[in-house]
Chains A and B, each alone.
Chain A
Amino acid sequence: MTELEVVDTEVVSKDEKTPRIGRRSPWRRLLRDPQAVITGGIILAFVVLGLLADVIPSYGPNEASLQAYNADVGTEGYPLGADASGRDILSRLLHSINTSMVAGLIGSSVALVIGVTFGLIGGYLGPRVRGTTEWIFALIQTFPGLLLLIILTPITKGDFRATMLIFGVLLAPGIYRIVRNQVLGVKNELYVDAARVSGLTNRRIMSRHILLSVRGPVIIAAAFMFGTAIALQSGLAFLGVGSAGVPSFGAMISEGFTNLYSEPTQFLWPSLALGLLTAALVLLGNSLRDAFQGARPKAAKIAPPKVLREDGTVPSAAAAPAESPGLLVVEDLAIAYPTPSGELRTVVDGVSLRLDAGETLGVVGESGSGKTQTAFAVLGVLPPEAVVTRGSIRLEGRELLGLSEGELRTLRGRSIAYVPQEPMSNLNPTFTIGAQLVEGLRSSGSMSKQEARERVLALLGRVGIPDPERTFRSYPHQISGGMAQRVLIAGAVASRPKVLIADEPTTALDVTVQAEILDLLRDLQAELGMAVLLVTHNFGVVADICGRIAVMKQGEVVESGPTTELFSDPQHPYTRMLLGAILDEETVRTDGPVAAPVPLGTDAR
Chain B
Amino acid sequence: MIAYVVRRLLTGLVLAVLVTFITFLLLSPSFDSVVQNRLGQVVNPDAAAALKSDLGLDRPLLVQYLDWLGGVFRGDFGTSYFTSQEVQVAIMDRLAVTLSLVLVSLFLSAVVSVLLGVVAAYRGGVIDRIAQSVSLLGHLIPSLLVAIVFVYVFAVQLQWLPATGYTPLSEDPVKWLKSITIPVIALTIGGAANLMAQVRGAMIDELNKDYVRTLRTRGISTRSIVLKHVLRNAAGPALTVLSLEFLTMLGGALIIENVFALPGFGAFAFAASLQADIPVIMGVTAFAVMLVVVVNLITDLLNGFLNPKARVL
- The segment out of B21-29, B44-52, B104-112 that lies at the interface is B21-29
Residues 236-247 of chain A, each 1 if its beta carbon lies under 8 Å from chain B, else 0: 101111000000
Cβ of A490 to closest chain B Cβ, rounded Å: 11
Hey, which bits of chain A sit against chain B, CB under 8 A?
139, 141-147, 150-155, 231-232, 234-236, 238-241, 250, 253, 257, 260-261, 264, 267, 271, 274-275, 278-279, 282-283, 286, 297-302, 376, 379, 381, 384, 405, 409-414, 416-418, 420, 422, 425-431, 436, 439-440, 443-444, 475, 477, 488, 491-492, 494-495, 599-601
* CA distance in complex: A427, B218 (Å): 12
Contact B284 A147 (CB under 8 A): yes
Cβ of B156 to closest chain A Cβ, rounded Å: 7
Contact B145 A155 (CB under 8 A): no
Cβ of B127 to closest chain A Cβ, rounded Å: 9
Contact B210 A238 (CB under 8 A): no
* CA distance in complex: A241, B293 (Å): 27
**5 pairs of residues in contact across A and B, judged by CB atoms under 8 Å:** A146-B250, A155-B29, A235-B142, A286-B136, A601-B213
Chain A residues with Cβ below 8 Å from B296 are 142
* CA distance in complex: A282, B309 (Å): 36
Contact B288 A443 (CB under 8 A): no
Contact A417 B217 (CB under 8 A): yes
Given contact pairs A234-B144, A282-B140, a sample of 5 additional A-B residue pairs in the complex whose CB atoms are under 8 Å apart? A147-B288, A297-B201, A298-B124, A428-B211, A443-B219
- The segment out of B85-93, B170-178, B225-233 that lies at the interface is B225-233
Identify the 9 closest CB pairs spanning chains A and B, nearest first: A299-B124, A146-B251, A413-B219, A440-B218, A300-B207, A154-B30, A418-B217, A444-B219, A153-B273
Cβ of B140 to closest chain A Cβ, rounded Å: 4
* CA distance in complex: A283, B140 (Å): 8
Chain A residues with Cβ below 8 Å from B124 are 298-301, 384
**Given A144-B288, A154-B30, A429-B307: A235 and B244 interface contact (C-beta under 8 Å):** no
* CA distance in complex: A279, B232 (Å): 34
Identify A302's interface contact among B122, B210, B291, CB under 8 A. Answer: B122
Contact B215 A440 (CB under 8 A): yes
Cβ of A238 to closest chain B Cβ, rounded Å: 6
Contact B251 A278 (CB under 8 A): no
Contact A426 B156 (CB under 8 A): no
Q: How large is the interface on B (under 10, 10 to 19, 20 to 34, 35 or more residues)?
A: 35 or more
Contact A239 B210 (CB under 8 A): no
Hey, which bits of chain B sit against chain A, CB under 8 A?
15, 19, 23, 26-27, 29-30, 33, 120-125, 128, 136, 139-142, 144-145, 148-149, 151-152, 156, 200-201, 203-205, 207-222, 224-226, 229, 232-233, 244, 247, 250-252, 254-255, 258-259, 265-267, 269-270, 272-274, 276, 281, 284-285, 288-289, 291-293, 296, 306-309
For residue A444, which residue of chain B has the nearest CB?
B219
For residue A276, which residue of chain B has the nearest CB?
B140
For residue B273, which residue of chain A has the nearest CB?
A153
* CA distance in complex: A229, B27 (Å): 24
Contact B142 A427 (CB under 8 A): no
Cβ of A175 to closest chain B Cβ, rounded Å: 15
Identify A300's interface contact among B30, B141, B208, B267, CB under 8 A. Answer: B208
**Given A144-B288, A147-B288, A600-B210: A260 and B156 interface contact (C-beta under 8 Å):** yes
Identify B144's interface contact among A143, A151, A253, CB under 8 A. Answer: A253
* CA distance in complex: A236, B218 (Å): 56
Contact B308 A413 (CB under 8 A): no
Identify A260's interface contact among B152, B224, B254, CB under 8 A. Answer: B152
Chain A residues with Cβ below 8 Å from B19 are 143
* CA distance in complex: A411, B216 (Å): 11
Contact A147 B218 (CB under 8 A): no
**Given A257-B148, A275-B141: A412 and B216 interface contact (C-beta under 8 Å):** yes
Chain B residues with Cβ below 8 Å from A241 are 270
Contact A412 B218 (CB under 8 A): yes
**Given A260-B156, A301-B123, A477-B308: A420 and B142 interface contact (C-beta under 8 Å):** no
**Given A274-B145, A299-B204: A475 and B308 interface contact (C-beta under 8 Å):** yes
Chain A residues with Cβ below 8 Å from B15 are 139, 142
Chain A residues with Cβ below 8 Å from B151 are 260
Chain A residues with Cβ below 8 Å from B255 are 146, 235-236, 238-239
Contact A267 B148 (CB under 8 A): yes
**Given A235-B255, A409-B219, A429-B309: A253 and B148 interface contact (C-beta under 8 Å):** yes
For residue A157, which residue of chain B has the nearest CB?
B30
For residue B226, which residue of chain A has the nearest CB?
A302
**Given A150-B266, A297-B204: A444 and B218 interface contact (C-beta under 8 Å):** yes
Contact A443 B221 (CB under 8 A): yes
